[in-house]
Structure 1
Amino acid sequence: YGNAQKTLDLRRLHNYFFHWPLTHADEVVFYSKHNVPIAQKLGIRNVRYIPLIVDDDRWETASASDGIEQLPKAPYGLFVGQMKERKGWDVLLRAIPSVPRRVLPAFVFVSSSSISEPASFGALADPLGVRDRVVFLGRIRSNGDLRAVFERSALVVVPSRYEGFGLVPLDAFESGKPVVASRVEAMTDFLENGRNSRLVPPKDPEALARAITEVAADAALQAKLVEGGRETLARMKSLAAAEEWVNFYEKLLRS
C-alpha cells in the first residue's frame, strides 16, 4: 500500500507542475484550432490559435541514404509513428488484407517508440495473414535514412485515432508523397479531402483499405494530392505565417 500511495502522490505532483503553466501564463498559444474551445471550457485565460510554421531544416540538411537493406523492393505504404493505440497502427494492419496485393504489395512500419518489433504487432499481423507483406523497421536514428524511407514509399498512411497536430503528413508533403489519413481534429486544420489527402473515418479498417487502394491505383489522383500537399506546405512556410508569430511575440514583450 505504501508504494502505491507514493506512486499516486508522485503522479499528483507531476500533474500539478505539468498544468501549472497553463493556468498562470500571460498567453497560451495552440497551433491546433480544436484545442482553443477545450482550453476555454477548462477556464484557461488568454487562449489563442496561431498556425504552425514548418521548419524543414532536417530535410534540407539530410542526404537520402541507401543503407536500409530491409526496405521492400516492391512499392510500399508507409506508417510512421509511435506504437501506441492512438496512432492507429493496428487499424492499418487490419486494413492490409483488403488492399489487393497487385495494387500495393507491401507496408513499412517505422516507430520512434520501439527499437524492435513489439509482441503486440506480431500477435495481430500473424493471425491476419499479412506477415509476408509487412516490414517493421522500428526506430530510425538518421534523418538521411528516414528521408530515404519516405522517398521510396508509394504513399503515406496516417491512421490515427486522434492527434495533437500530426507532423507525418507534412513530412509526406515534403517528400512528394500522397497521404491517406484519418479525418480527425487537428489534422483537419490543414488536411483537405481530395485536395491534399484522402481522408477516412478513424478506426475503420475497411474504409482505410478502400482509400489506400483508390490512391495506390490512380496515378492522376496521386499527382493531384501531391500537388495539393506542396501548396499546403508552401503556405505553412510562408513569411505571412512567420510574421503572425513575430507580431505575437512583439506584442507580448511590449505588455
Structure 2
Amino acid sequence: MITSANFPPEEGIGNFIYNMSKEFIRKGNQVTIITRGSSSKIKEEDFEGIRLYRVPFFPLYPIHVQIHGIFVKKLFSSIQSDFDVIHFHTPLPSPLKTNLPTITTVHTPMKTDTAKVELVNPFSVAVKLQGKISCLIESKLFKISDKITSVASSVSQELGEYGLNPNDVEVIGNGVDEKLFCPIKNKTNEKYILYTGRLSYRKGLFDFIECGVNICSRYPDINFKLTGKGPLFEKLKKIVQESGYENRFEFLGHVEKSKLIELYQNATIFVLPSHYEGLPTTLLEAMSCGLPVVATAVSGNLDVIESGENGILVPLKSPDKMAEAVSSLLDDENLRTELGIAARKTIEEKFTWDAISNKILDCYSSIV
C-alpha cells in the first residue's frame, strides 16, 4: 500500500490503512506500506507485522509530491517483484508506472477538499492554489488504476468531476474495532453531549456551540465535551466564554484512545455537526459504543444513518434543528436506548474491519 498517512496512525486515513493491514495479515496475507518519512534516507522497519518503508519527504510546496515521488519510484523499482497488488490511498500518494494490478481508494477527492477550504488566512490561500496541482496528480493516479474504490457514496459521486463514472467506483465504506468500541452497562452519573474530531471550519462547530448554548439554557444538568485539536480551538473557547456557559463546556484537546473510548461509553448523546465528511470514523466509533447519534444529513453520514431508525439526521447548518433533535433524545430515555441499540447493530452488521477488509480482498481478486 502506498500512502501519505502517518504511522503510527494519528487520524482517519492512517487508522483505516493500519486496521486494513492488520486484518489482511490475520487472514494470511503479507503487507508492505510505503509512506512519508522525516529522514533524508529511506528507512525500513517492522511495524506490528507490517513491512514499513518511510521514504524521505520534503515540504517544498508546490513540488513536494514530485520530489517525494522520486524516492518512492527508486524504492519501488527495487522491491516491486515482491507484490501481487499495488493499493494507493489518497490524498496524494505518488503515482507509479507498473504492470502490476493497481487499486486506488479515495477518502476525499482533492477537488472537493480544495473547494471546501475557506479563505481565512494566507495558508488557506496557499492550499487553494496548491489544490490545482494536487488535482492533476490525482487525475494521473486514477488513469493508472485498474480499479477505484471510495469510502462513501458521496465520494463516488464527487469523482464524476474527474470524468469518472460514479457507478464504476465501488463503495467499500469505513470501519471500526467493535471489540474495543463497545457499550457498557454502568455509566457514570454525569450527563453530557459529546463531539470528537478535528476542530476545523468544515466540522460545523459554530453550529454545535450554538446548539449547545440553546440546550444549556433549558437543561441545567447537561454538559458538553469536545475532544480534538485544530485551528478553531481558541476561537470556540472564546465564543463559549462570551455565552455565559463556560462552566458547561469542556475542551479536552487530544485524548488517548483508552480515554476516548471511555468518553464515548459514558456519553449521553453524540453529535456530529459536520458540513462535509467522507465517512467519519468518529460516527462509527460512537455508534459502535451504542450511543444515540445526531448528525448532519451530508456525505457519508447518509450511508450509515437511517433517520429515526438508528440515529437522527438534521439539515446542514441548522443549529436550531440540531437542538430540537438533541432535546427529543434528552426528553425520551427509551428513544435514546432504542437508537443506541440499533446503532450498535448497524456497526456489527456492516462496518467492522473484518467486513470492510473482505470487501477490499474481493476487489483485489477481481483485478489479479
- Considering the TM-score relative to the shorter chain, is it more than 0.5? yes
Instruction: Quote the residue 2:261 is aligned against.
Output: 147
In 1: Cα distance, 2:178 partner to 2:213 partner = 37
- The CA deviation string for residues 182-209 of structure 1, in whole angstroms up to 9 with x for no partner, is 1112210111110111111111111111
Shift of the alpha carbon at 1:34?
1.7
In 2: Cα distance, 1:208 partner to 1:57 partner = 27
In 1: Cα distance, 2:348 partner to 2:179 partner = 16
Amino acid at match of 2:283: P
Instruction: Quote the residue 2:228 is aligned against.
Output: 111
Q: Indicate yes or no: 2:141 matched with 1:21.
A: yes
Amino acid at match of 1:234: E
Q: Indicate yes or no: 2:178 matched with 1:50.
A: no
Amino acid at match of 2:313: L
For residue 191 of structure 2, the aligned residue among 75, 82, 86 is 75
In 2: Cα distance, 1:92 partner to 1:247 partner = 39
Taking structure 1 as reference, are residues 22 and 172 closer, same or farther at Cα in structure 2, changes over 3 Å only? same
Taking structure 1 as reference, are residues 166 and 240 closer, same or farther at Cα in structure 2, changes over 3 Å only? closer
Unaligned ranges ≥5, structure 2: 1-59, 65-129
For residue 131 of structure 1, the aligned residue among 221, 228, 246 is 246
Taking structure 1 as reference, are residues 218 and 168 closer, same or farther at Cα in structure 2, changes over 3 Å only? same
Whether the 8 Å contact between 2:310 and 2:339 is mirrored in structure 1 is: yes
Whether the 8 Å contact between 1:178 and 1:225 is mirrored in structure 2 is: yes
Report SS of the residue matched to 1:137.
strand
Instruction: Quote the residue 1:68 is aligned against.
Output: none
Deviates most, 196-205 or 9-18: 9-18
RMSD: 2.9
Taking structure 1 as reference, are residues 24 and 42 closer, same or farther at Cα in structure 2, changes over 3 Å only? same
Taking structure 1 as reference, are residues 202 and 75 closer, same or farther at Cα in structure 2, changes over 3 Å only? same
Instruction: Quote the residue 2:314 is aligned against.
Output: 200
Amino acid at match of 1:144: S
Q: Indicate yes or no: 2:349 matched with 1:249.
A: no
In 2: Cα distance, 1:240 partner to 1:176 partner = 19
Taking structure 1 as reference, are residues 7 and 240 closer, same or farther at Cα in structure 2, changes over 3 Å only? closer
Taking structure 1 as reference, are residues 196 and 119 closer, same or farther at Cα in structure 2, changes over 3 Å only? same
For residue 151 of structure 2, the aligned residue among 3, 7, 31 is 31
Taking structure 1 as reference, are residues 7 and 54 closer, same or farther at Cα in structure 2, changes over 3 Å only? closer
Unaligned ranges ≥5, structure 1: 1-5, 65-71
Whether the 8 Å contact between 1:76 and 1:154 is mirrored in structure 2 is: yes
Instruction: Quote the residue 2:213 is aligned against.
Output: 97
Amino acid at match of 2:310: N
In 1: Cα distance, 2:154 partner to 2:134 partner = 25
Instruction: Quote the residue 1:220 is aligned against.
Output: 334
Shift of the alpha carbon at 1:96?
1.4
In 1: Cα distance, 2:310 partner to 2:153 partner = 19
In 2: Cα distance, 1:178 partner to 1:27 partner = 36
Instruction: Quote the residue 2:180 is aligned against.
Output: 59
Amino acid at match of 1:244: K
- The CA deviation string for residues 59-87 of structure 1, in whole angstroms up to 9 with x for no partner, is 27x9x9xxxxxxx9631000001111111
Paired positions, count: 236
For residue 178 of structure 1, the aligned residue among 286, 292, 297 is 292
Report SS of the residue matched to 2:364.
helix
In 2: Cα distance, 1:233 partner to 1:135 partner = 28
Q: Indicate yes or no: 2:305 matched with 1:191.
A: yes
In 2: Cα distance, 1:207 partner to 1:55 partner = 28
Sequence identity, in percent? Answer: 21
- The CA deviation string for residues 24-56 of structure 1, in whole angstroms up to 9 with x for no partner, is 211110121122232134213694223325240
Taking structure 1 as reference, are residues 26 and 187 closer, same or farther at Cα in structure 2, changes over 3 Å only? same
Amino acid at match of 1:159: P
Taking structure 1 as reference, are residues 20 and 129 closer, same or farther at Cα in structure 2, changes over 3 Å only? farther
